[in-house]
Structure 1
Amino acid sequence: MNKSGGFFDTQYLLFNYQLFTLFCNIRFYLIALLVASSFHAAAQEILDLPGKQAIVSLSAPQSVKKMLDKYIQLPAEPFASEYDESAFVHRIQKEISEIMATEGYFSVSVSVIKPAHAQSIEIKVDPGELTRVGSVSLEFSGDIANSDKEHRKRIEQLRAAWSLKTGKPFRAADWEQAKSALINSVTQQAFAAAAITSSQASVDPGAARADLTVTIDSGPVFHLGEIQISGLKRYDASLITRLATFKPGDIYQRDLLHQYQLALQKTPQFSTVTVSIVPDIAQHRSIPVKVMLTEAHAQRFAFGAGYSSNNGARGEINYQYHNLFDRAWNLTSLLRLEQKRQTFLAGVDTLPDQNNINHSFSASLQMTDIAGLKTDVQKAGLTRNYQTPTTVMQLGLNWQREHKKPDGANDQINQALVLDWRWRRRIVDDPVNVRRGDITEVRIGGGTRQLLSDQDFIRTYANHQSWWPVGLRDTFFLRAEVGYTLAPSRFGIPQEYLFRAGGIQSLRGYAFKSIGVHEGSAVVGGRTMATGTAEYTHWLTHQWGAATFVDIGSAADRWQDMRMFLGYGAGVRWRSPAGPLALDLARGHETGNWRVHFSMAVAF
């Protein structure tokens, strides 16, 4: 910078002034540009707000528009050219006509309305009259049409079960579903190779009528042949064949093969099982039954941990061996350690025979410390089991020795040899997450002083549970149980054959087995018991729900001593992969105390 006599150079000042002016102008233009951009963006956002006029709109009756909106996507931007607009109009008219035809509208009118000098297009849809089913003709050929009385009856049943009857709307999906259900019913029994040889829907758009014709060739009657097994290495083939409820020569039934597959899948010796036939007409007199399977490991260790508000934290070890004595018998042993109960159990299960009957032998040791009562129990038993998909029936002979130690009262040793019968039926929609169904259980057992028992007694017990769906998601649940032991006295009878109440699956709001008969400061079992539950669950999502409940009941030594206890509260439900888990907060009305009830188990 030059200085002369203490003054700045004039040219230098002028140059800086010009730079300053240029800088200010640039700042002004930049600010103006930013403001203009902001106004443009704001204007664009206003145009994009809901309620602005669409470039292409669809006008139709509400039910039709709702259906079309699922399949048609309208453009959100202006067309680049008149050619693009014309191509879109041509395509959309064709698509709408095709979609409407699948729903039974064959006289649909699709018009395009475009006001002059307007940027919008309105697609107007007049569906016309809905086409309905006119006549229905189901024709049969093959062995099913041989005038046999049973076959004639079956044809009548198939025609009666046809779902797309006269007067119903004719929709493409319903038409395909009706044909699929028909051929599925024919191939269900005897006619494994049945097929639809022709099907026609004659549509008269002017009369809004569709006449239907279907022809089915049943083919010959199929008879089951020998069982062909693949994948068997460790076990004898009799393990597979003995579970079959059919014999060679029986008429083919799909349900028979399905039940056979389920029976094999339940056996622990196999990890995967598939039972099928190849419907080869040339072999219809003796079609082979193919069983493809994968053997599971013969030995298995499992470890687990969990927590329950009834018995506290627990850990367990389980060992299973599935080929005892090379007879495919199942050996199971379990060591379970809980805060209030410790159990060691070992048992052997034989294979079920063709009548679904097997036998079990078990022995166990158990120690408990619940509600002031300590017990040491040794037990051994033999049981005959009968099982179907919905029913379990057991008849067992069990010997038990119990050392009973109530706080503040005398110790006792009770022994009993008990003949015990148990029947349980389960008919539910989902074995893991039940929403509709019933479970009923009945037990009767007893012992006598004449045969290794310290007391004469007969124990009876019944339990019933019902679920009803409410609306789309919710569930209402009722449970009732009652028990009575007929005996001169409760003394001399092991606790397993007496009754206490309280805790999960009994009376929430009260401690586990805290309601019964008092001996000293302990609560022991009495000869009578009755409890019930009403619960409503509202599922907020598929997995999470909230429940409210009321429990009522009691246990005592005599019916006249029964004093009803009431518990109520609310809780959270979670549908886990292993079943619903519950966290409940309940109030015991008689005590005024609040109690948390929770159960969860984790296997690893």
Structure 2
Amino acid sequence: MRPSACLVALLSAGMAMPATAQLRIDAPAAIVARIAPHLPANASQQRVEALAGQILATEGYFSPAFAFAEDEAGLQLKIDSGPRTLIGNVDVAVDGPVNEKTRADLIAGWRLPVGQPFRQDDWNAAKQQVLAELLAVEHAAARLVDSQAEIDTETSRAALHARYDGGPRYRFGALQVDGLHRYTPALIARYNRSVRPGDPYRSESLQTLISNLQATPYFANVRAELDTAAAEMADDGSAVAPVRLRVRERPGHRAGFGAGFSSNTGARVEANYNTPDFFGQAWEFDTGLRLEQKRQTLYADILLPPDGGQRRHSIGVVSETSDIEKLKTERHALGIQSVQQRGSVEQRLSLNWQRERRTPEGSEIVTSRALVPNVMWTWRQVDNLLDPRAGTVLQLSVGGGATAALSDQNFLRLHGRVQHYLPVGERDTLALRAELGRTFADSRLRIPQDYLFRTGGTGSVRGYAYQSLGIKEGEATVGGRYLAVGSVEYTHWLNDTWGVATFIDAGDAVDELRDARLAVGYGLGVRWRSPAGPIGADLAYGERERQLHLHFSLAIPF
């Protein structure tokens, strides 16, 4: 028997094969693997031969030879597959008013070219690909008119013929919306940046509209389709068809309750209330109370729909108390913000006023006030927003306050961070992270902690407690005017779900550069790919304090 032959116990035959007999297949491994799963138990020799022949034909073998032999080990089926049929000729025609470049690209991109082995699955996929590309761009009524595969068993060649009718070229007509109760079509228009009357039909444009609307707080379900039955012919020969948009609105009121744990701030319980139609204006109102071991937060936000420039404005208030690294703070803040996406760059403009009362253990109480205009840019260029293996995320922010404008101290704050991903092999990833910050001011005193720097903990320098790296003021750790953090992490994925990581972090926050002394932490972690992104658990050793810390995180880029 050939080395490539496989012996597979498949079935007990009926009348032709005794119930105690085993069928062994003598054929190349690839053919055995293709045939064996589909042969039923207790089949006759005639039935086995017929099924095997049908399966081999789908792989391009149209003249196989079968021979049964019985010995002491049982019944053996020897298969000589014969020559494999190759594509000898391809004839693809696309009729109708199709753009000549589009027509040429479709024919040139045919997926089953001359010289390739004929397989039924490949033949079906090639036909479907051309039709799908026609349906996606302008030709919403395209169809496969005729297809035929002519097999010449003597020459082992296949001649393929496929003919398509592109139908008319469609353009978008008016948007017709069904399912609105609380909202008006004007709200839909604010999110519609892709389906414009008169534009050439694109299925991608419809999908973009659906995605944009379903990402809003207003709609639970969205469907959109081109109504070709209601199309009207235009003077240029194209067909103008309305777009039928069917929506189902989300409930007008939602309340949520949750519990959790963070390695930074401890155990957590929270309650939240949300309505997407505050005051009947399609304003999203979101408020909640979050109680953590080290921090307690009460907040309320109002978010408006996007304006004509696709900017989304919001206003919010927050009251927060915390006790972290022996620093107690009470913070009350009011802010307005405008967010705009420009390609791969997100821009956030904000104006925030806050009053902070901080009580360091072993030092005096300080009250700080600041009115801070701030701008932040985030540039994302990654292959996957939730689970990247390649690409870069860069964030820069600039903000400051002045004593002439409701602040207790003159200061300018600059902050930047970058995360870069490099794929290694088929699965693994090398992640590089860096963060720099500086607050220009004569002194850190009377500047709120949000505009100074502390580090340590999950997402910064692992191996140290949350915000434990900074300036000692009495027994407490407070923010300094300089920040530097760097990290290298290598993740090896064992399979599609689980991975292990090794990392080294270094960083510190200081008030004077001469005091800079990077704290180093390193360790091992596990990763689990959840629907929300990779979840990580890391055990890290901090060299400065010679302690182990366990960190949990949702390991996605900022």
Q: Please give the range of the TM-score, normalised by the shorter of the 2 chains.
A: 0.7 to 0.9
1:521 aligns with 2:475: yes
In 1, Cα distance between equivalents of 2:173 and 2:538? 56
Post-superposition shift, 1:476? 4.0
Q: Which deviations, in whole Å up to 9, do the C-alpha atoms of 1:569-599 show, x marking residues without a partner?
A: 2233344454443332211122221112236
In 1, Cα distance between equivalents of 2:534 and 2:429? 13
Cross-structure match for 2:11: none
Cross-structure match for 2:368: 414
Q: Which deviations, in whole Å up to 9, do the C-alpha atoms of 1:23-54 show, x marking residues without a partner?
A: xxxxxxxxxxxxxxxxxxxxxxxxxxxxxx96
Cross-structure match for 2:229: 280
**DSSP-derived class of the 1:232 partner:** coil
In 2, Cα distance between equivalents of 1:54 and 1:459? 83
Change (3 A) 1:166 1:74: same
1:105 aligns with 2:61: yes
**DSSP-derived class of the 2:228 partner:** coil
1:404 aligns with 2:358: yes
TM-score, normalization by structure 2: 0.87
1:230 aligns with 2:184: no
Cross-structure match for 1:33: none
Contact kept in structure 1, 2:231 and 2:242, CA below 8 Å = no
Q: Which moved more, 1:469-478 or 1:494-503?
A: 469-478
Give the letter aligned to residue 60 of structure 2.
Answer: G
Q: Which has the higher strand share?
A: 2
1:551 aligns with 2:500: no
For 1:314-393, what aligned pairs fall within 5 Å after superposition? 314-353=268-307, 355-387=309-341, 391-393=345-347
Cross-structure match for 2:24: 57
Contact kept in structure 2, 1:307 and 1:599, CA below 8 Å = no
In 1, Cα distance between equivalents of 2:416 and 2:81? 60
Q: Which deviations, in whole Å up to 9, do the C-alpha atoms of 1:182-228 show, x marking residues without a partner?
A: 11111112111111212233333344333333222111111111222
Which blocks of at least 5 consecutive residues in structure 2 are unaligned? 1-19, 234-238
In 2, Cα distance between equivalents of 1:281 and 1:216? 23
Post-superposition shift, 1:156? 2.8
Cross-structure match for 2:244: 290
Indicate which of 518, 528, 531 corresponds to 1:564.
518
Change (3 A) 1:526 1:211: farther
Contact kept in structure 2, 1:243 and 1:354, CA below 8 Å = no
Indicate which of 79, 102, 110 corresponds to 1:154.
102
In 2, Cα distance between equivalents of 1:469 and 1:179? 35
For 1:163-562, what aligned pairs fall within 5 Å after superposition? 163-245=111-193, 246-280=195-229, 282-283=231-232, 285-353=239-307, 355-387=309-341, 391-426=345-380, 431-434=385-388, 438-467=392-421, 474-540=428-494, 542-562=496-516
Contact kept in structure 1, 2:190 and 2:310, CA below 8 Å = no
**DSSP-derived class of the 1:114 partner:** strand
Give the letter aligned to residue 91 of structure 1.
Answer: R
In 1, Cα distance between equivalents of 2:220 and 2:172? 25
For 1:87-126, what aligned pairs fall within 5 Å after superposition? 88-115=44-71, 118=72, 120-126=74-80
Aligned residues: 529
**DSSP-derived class of the 1:242 partner:** helix
Which blocks of at least 5 consecutive residues in structure 1 are unaligned? 1-52, 76-86, 145-150
Percent sequence identity over aligned pairs: 40
Contact kept in structure 1, 2:416 and 2:437, CA below 8 Å = yes
Give the letter aligned to residue 173 of structure 1.
Answer: D
Change (3 A) 1:170 1:388: farther
For 1:574-593, what aligned pairs fall within 5 Å after superposition? 574-593=528-547
Contact kept in structure 2, 1:356 and 1:388, CA below 8 Å = no
In 2, Cα distance between equivalents of 1:302 and 1:323? 17
Post-superposition shift, 1:119? 6.7
- Higher gyration radius (CA): 1
**DSSP-derived class of the 1:511 partner:** coil
Give the letter aligned to residue 49 of structure 2.
Answer: Q
Contact kept in structure 1, 2:421 and 2:430, CA below 8 Å = yes
Q: Which has the higher helix share?
A: 1
Cross-structure match for 1:15: none
In 2, Cα distance between equivalents of 1:425 and 1:310? 27
Change (3 A) 1:164 1:527: farther
**DSSP-derived class of the 1:100 partner:** helix
In 2, Cα distance between equivalents of 1:92 and 1:224? 55
In 2, Cα distance between equivalents of 1:531 and 1:215? 62
In 1, Cα distance between equivalents of 2:48 and 2:188? 59
Post-superposition shift, 1:244? 1.8
Q: Which moved more, 1:207-216 or 1:176-185?
A: 207-216
Contact kept in structure 2, 1:414 and 1:492, CA below 8 Å = yes
Contact kept in structure 2, 1:304 and 1:317, CA below 8 Å = yes
Change (3 A) 1:132 1:589: farther
**DSSP-derived class of the 2:280 partner:** coil
Post-superposition shift, 1:134? 3.3
Give the letter aligned to residue 409 of structure 1.
Answer: S
Q: Which moved more, 1:321-330 or 1:533-542?
A: 533-542
Give the letter aligned to residue 275 of structure 1.
Answer: A
Contact kept in structure 2, 1:96 and 1:110, CA below 8 Å = no
Give the letter aligned to residue 26 of structure 2.
Answer: S
**DSSP-derived class of the 2:537 partner:** strand
Cross-structure match for 1:10: none
Change (3 A) 1:382 1:72: same
Give the letter aligned to residue 564 of structure 1.
Answer: L
In 2, Cα distance between equivalents of 1:423 and 1:358? 15
Indicate which of 120, 127, 135 corresponds to 2:89.
135
Change (3 A) 1:593 1:103: same
Change (3 A) 1:138 1:532: farther
Q: Which deviations, in whole Å up to 9, do the C-alpha atoms of 1:522-567 show, x marking residues without a partner?
A: 2222222222333334445654443333222222234443212221
In 2, Cα distance between equivalents of 1:113 and 1:392? 72
Change (3 A) 1:316 1:134: same
Contact kept in structure 1, 2:313 and 2:339, CA below 8 Å = yes
Post-superposition shift, 1:471? 5.6
Change (3 A) 1:217 1:572: same
Give the letter aligned to residue 210 of structure 2.
Answer: Q
Cross-structure match for 1:9: none
Give the letter aligned to residue 323 of structure 1.
Answer: D
In 2, Cα distance between equivalents of 1:596 and 1:227? 54
